[in-house]
Structure 1
Amino acid sequence: MAQFYSANRRVATQQTLNVTCHDLDGFGQGVARHQGKTIFIPGLLPGEQAEVRITEDQRQFSRGRVTKRLNDSPQRVTPRCPHYGVCGGCQQQHISQQLQQRSKAATLRSLLTRETGAAIGDVVSVGADAYGYRRRARLGLEYRQKSRALAMGYRQARSSDVVDITRCPILAGGLEQLLAPLKELLAGLRAVKRLGHVELVMADNGPLVVLRHLDALAGEDRQRLLDFASRRRVMMWLAAGGDSLECLWGEPPVYQIDDLRLQFSPRDFIQVNDEVNRRMVALALEWLEPGADERVLDLFCGMGNFTLPLAKRCGQVIGVEGVAALVANGQYNAQQNLLSNVTFFHDNLEEDVAAKSWADRGFDKILLDPARAGALGVMSHIAAWSPRRIVYVSCNPTTLARDSKVLMASGYVPARVAMLDMFPHSGHLESMTLFLKDSGVCAK
């Protein structure tokens, strides 16, 4: 319902328009124009015409919903998920993967150009199969007293309600196959009314389940979980509260990157999309060009996703991370992979790091992979260290643009940009940018 205002009273009037979609925004919403005003319309694709009901009318833009689509774009595809449109996990399964990637790359290029004023060239798209890619997921558990049934799934779009799912085509196959038997198991526990959520992880050495339970589990429930885990070869971990984790059955999970074997805790951050992560690491190494006699710094390094592959190629690598558990895992994985030229440090990179022991001299090259808040606290130090190459991996293009300005003010230019399609069918936009010190030097 569009809202129209006067000085004396508020008037609500319904308005229906016929519009033609001409673009997608960064979240996959259709973009149309009517009488000079932009209208954002979920579910509409470029080239499609539709009758649209205005649901929100602001001074600069409006929002609408499709009441009748008049034609179909060639880029419209049939979603594979039976829960699509209700479940809030995906927003773009009706869009072909090619159009999703083009739209995200165009959005990234437009935002960086607008915010930094830099001449951004072609944006490389790094993607993989749009289905069966997700190796980590958290599913809500909700016991419904009225039906006396357990619901297990993602949150509903624009709601906190759990959508009871039977399938999830974006999950790695081994995890999707667990959905039905796992729900049946949990529904039969005595503690079914006091379960919080379940986390699924597909490690390279098998599937893993972390069950969050609110009360201590009875011996009967523990035995059922143990029997399920051993029968199906599923690593089973229990989380009673806080940071506590108990391995009920199985071994520590691992994943491989660049022929390295990395062990991690079930709650450690790992990239959700295994194949895109592999391609991202390979591209970062190509862009950074680490040399055997060089000193490389990896900031926000986690447990060594980039750090350890770098250590195979250069003289010395310093990894800095703000989460102590990840630092410990990084050190352990370096030892297990016989890499003696890498050192991990636990430091808060939002604070002044100038006096830190690892920052006592310059670095030849730097890689950083911050969280959504970006890396503003350390950008001036990076510029002062004056490395020849910087690779910035970002999960938020807005903070990437902000931080890029600091580097550009010190003479760096964005030489290459890649859109990393880490989360197909969603509006998440990840990217990687190569910065070079000399504007006259082109990347190889």
Structure 2
Amino acid sequence: MQNPIATIESLDQEGRGVAHVEGKVIFIEGALIGEKVAYTSYRKKPSYEFARIERIVKESSSRVKPKCVHFGMCGGCAMQHLEFSAQVAVKQRVLEDGLWHIAKVKPESMLPPVYGPAWGYRHRARLRARYVPGKGGVLVGFNEKHSSFVAHLKGCEVLPPHISALIVPLQELVMQLSIRDRMPQIEVAVGDDISVLVFRILEPVSPSDEALLHAFGNRHRVQIWLQSKGPETATPLYPLDAPELTYSLPEFDLVYPFMPTEFTQVNPRINQILVRRALALLAPQSNERIVDLFCGLGNFTLPIARCGAQVLGLEGSASLVRRARQNAERNGLTQQTEFRDVDLFEITPEELAALGRFDKWLIDPPRDGALEVIKALPDDGGNRPARIVYVSCNPATLARDAGVLVQAKGYHLVACGVVNMFPHTAHVESVAIFEL
């Protein structure tokens, strides 16, 4: 029996080709827009199927050879087979389609997409480690595609080269440890002056383990941390006199110390451009009061304050609020900033009103979006901000929230555009500006 053939119409939010065959939607891994492919379905539902390519009948001119030899097996990347600029165009289409299909909202204009380095960009990563005797030892890397198994990697093209080069040595190191089957994860944090590896341990390390970890840190010039339980238990092991872990926003003369387990953007080059764009859209003035919602450790709060505005940063994590205050003090901005621990997923209109009036908002929520805080805005009156800049990591929740802002709160979606924070993945980061 011959494999069915489909023509790919678009890509979905996971980077899969989308086709329609006999009234059903077929999601085909590895297929690109405009291609005609023969496929085999591996999961069937009444209205849709998931499938894999068996043969490309007509190839897209945007198809390229993946740089990584592990592409297709490793679950870390989904789009290395698509030319780099075409990846950004696909993400822009995903953003526009989401706004229209979910919220029936169209931006008045599209912002130019933000590009950055295509390879070696990922300064934050969570690598899995697993002792697999049947495969000859320890595996360190990302999960295999559609699997809980760890991919057998020799390197990773999206990690900085000096971190990619550690994957095989890490496999050899963990194999030598007495707790090799009790060390499930290695978190990577690359800063301005130091790279940190946080080993998640389910049992204490032995003196001989410590000696091996010390030697690894010396040989590869990384700082070793151990984490026994939650992120707050991460502590440095060796060397204790390593440089401080920081990232910088040179344009605003800002330096941010951070713990290796605290949230920071994975792509520091793109983060610098994203902050620049968001601040240009927000246009903070010295006589304005601005709120930064989901402020984290102050990534946007401090640049807004550096422009002269008074800024209130709101964040649900008490530890990140403490870090934001420390960063404000480190950068001489305590007089222009205030930070509060607030659960923005449960905020009421009364609680929002009690914070006072703000001239402008900046919102940078997690994937769940900012629905409750947007719903808490008054439907009319003078207490609404004249301008809202929304930085999103999920086009679906941005579209949902944009629908509320436009249809219930009276805002216009002035412009939006994608920010290619995660090249070669289907992840869509974006920034949008709303005005009354």
Decide: shared fold, TM above 0.5: yes
Pick one of 282, 305, 308 that aligns with 1:311.
305
Aligned to 1:291: 285
CA distance in 1, matches of 2:309, 2:422: 34
CA distance in 2, matches of 1:372, 1:333: 25
Q: CA deviation at 1:227?
A: 2.5
Counterpart of 1:310 in 2: which secondary structure?
helix
Most deviating of 287-296 and 404-413 = 404-413
2:270 maps to 1:261 = no
Q: Which sections of structure 1, spanning at least 5 residues, go unmatched?
A: 1-13, 438-444
Instruction: Tell me if the contact between 1:89 and 1:155 (Cα under 8 Å) persists in the aligned partners.
Output: yes
Aligned to 1:351: 346
1:436 counterpart letter in structure 2:
E
Instruction: Tell me if the contact between 2:187 and 2:197 (Cα under 8 Å) persists in the aligned partners.
Output: yes
Counterpart of 2:54 in 1: which secondary structure?
strand
Q: How does 1:142-181 map to 2 (within 5 A)?
A: 142-181=130-169
Pick one of 45, 49, 70 that aligns with 1:83.
70
Bigger relative contact order, structure 1 or 2 (CA pairs below 8 A, ≥6 apart): 2
Closer, same or farther: CA 305–359 of 1 in aligned 2, 3 Å: farther
Instruction: Tell me if the contact between 1:113 and 1:119 (Cα under 8 Å) persists in the aligned partners.
Output: yes
Aligned-residue Cα RMSD (Å) equals 2.0
Aligned to 2:3: 16
CA distance in 1, matches of 2:81, 2:198: 31
Q: CA deviation at 1:427?
A: 1.7
2:337 maps to 1:342 = yes
Counterpart of 2:433 in 1: which secondary structure?
strand
Closer, same or farther: CA 416–357 of 1 in aligned 2, 3 Å: closer
Q: CA deviation at 1:380?
A: 2.9
Counterpart of 2:97 in 1: which secondary structure?
helix
CA distance in 1, matches of 2:2, 2:96: 34
Q: CA deviation at 1:355?
A: 5.5
CA distance in 1, matches of 2:348, 2:161: 43
Pick one of 93, 96, 103 that aligns with 2:83.
96
Closer, same or farther: CA 43–345 of 1 in aligned 2, 3 Å: same
2:246 counterpart letter in structure 1:
V
Q: CA deviation at 1:251?
A: 4.3
1:253 counterpart letter in structure 2:
L
CA distance in 2, matches of 1:71, 1:112: 31
1:245 counterpart letter in structure 2:
A
Most deviating of 47-56 and 211-220 = 47-56
Closer, same or farther: CA 76–383 of 1 in aligned 2, 3 Å: farther
Instruction: Tell me if the contact between 1:48 and 1:71 (Cα under 8 Å) persists in the aligned partners.
Output: yes
Closer, same or farther: CA 353–231 of 1 in aligned 2, 3 Å: farther
Aligned to 1:230: 218
2:34 maps to 1:42 = no
Q: How does 1:77-226 map to 2 (within 5 A)?
A: 77-120=64-107, 121-226=109-214
Aligned to 2:358: 363
CA offsets, 1:339-366, max 9 Å, x none?
1211111111122355559943200110
Closer, same or farther: CA 347–147 of 1 in aligned 2, 3 Å: same
Aligned to 2:433: 434
Q: CA deviation at 1:209?
A: 0.3
Q: CA deviation at 1:278?
A: 1.0
Most deviating of 247-256 and 27-36 = 27-36
Aligned to 2:235: 246
CA offsets, 1:340-396, max 9 Å, x none?
211111111122355559943200110011111111221133456311110111112
CA distance in 2, matches of 1:80, 1:196: 28
Instruction: Tell me if the contact between 1:140 and 1:152 (Cα under 8 Å) persists in the aligned partners.
Output: yes
CA distance in 2, matches of 1:100, 1:397: 15
Instruction: Tell me if the contact between 1:28 and 1:92 (Cα under 8 Å) persists in the aligned partners.
Output: yes
2:220 counterpart letter in structure 1:
R
CA distance in 2, matches of 1:246, 1:25: 41
1:418 counterpart letter in structure 2:
G
Instruction: Tell me if the contact between 2:352 and 2:376 (Cα under 8 Å) persists in the aligned partners.
Output: no
When normalised by structure 1's length, the TM-score is 0.90
Most deviating of 73-82 and 224-233 = 224-233
Count of residue pairs the alignment pairs up: 424
Q: CA deviation at 1:45?
A: 1.5
1:130 counterpart letter in structure 2:
A
Instruction: Tell me if the contact between 2:35 and 2:60 (Cα under 8 Å) persists in the aligned partners.
Output: yes
Pick one of 394, 400, 412 that aligns with 2:392.
394
Counterpart of 2:376 in 1: which secondary structure?
helix
Q: CA deviation at 1:57?
A: 4.3
Counterpart of 1:291 in 2: which secondary structure?
coil
Aligned to 1:325: 319
Most deviating of 174-183 and 302-311 = 174-183
CA offsets, 1:167-188, max 9 Å, x none?
1000122311222323322222
CA distance in 1, matches of 2:41, 2:198: 43
Aligned to 2:405: 407
CA distance in 2, matches of 1:27, 1:245: 33
When normalised by structure 2's length, the TM-score is 0.92
Instruction: Tell me if the contact between 2:349 and 2:377 (Cα under 8 Å) persists in the aligned partners.
Output: no
CA offsets, 1:47-90, max 9 Å, x none?
32222234444443333322211232221111111111111111
Closer, same or farther: CA 285–50 of 1 in aligned 2, 3 Å: same
1:368 counterpart letter in structure 2:
I
2:411 counterpart letter in structure 1:
Y
Q: Which sections of structure 2, spanning at least 5 residues, go unmatched?
A: none
